[in-house]
Structure 1
Amino acid sequence: MNVVWHKSSYSASNSNCVEMGVFGASVAVRDSKDPHGPSLNISARAWSEFISGIGTGIFPVAK
């Protein structure tokens, strides 16, 4: 299965960052510095809760 990877719009094109992509019923997360390396696969629900937690301040974001 091919994954279309996305990275934050806050990242410059040459910046190293975390990328995410939908992989079946889960979300894959990887390091953009190693695009052929391993990815962490988590459930879509866990990803949604993580993103929600960032939005509500549960997971502070460095600025």
Structure 2
Amino acid sequence: LVELSGLSQSSVSQHLALLREEDVVSVRGEAQLRFYSLKDPIVRGVIHTLCELCAGHSTKA
């Protein structure tokens, strides 16, 4: 997520913590790793649709 977003590790962690607190994502841990998943299939669908709409669009002017 850090590489994809361009955000710092601490910023990504803060965002994930907020999503966890709001019950948007669930988290499971294995050793030193954490795996996050969206809880609500509607949210998952909205994000999927947004990704499809944005695919191929450049943010560079």
Query: TM-score w.r.t. structure 1 length?
Result: 0.33
Larger C-alpha radius of gyration, 1 or 2?
2
TM-score by length of 2: 0.33
From the two aligned structures, give the one with the greater helix fraction: 2
Higher relative contact order (CA 8 A, sep 6+): 1
Higher strand share: 1
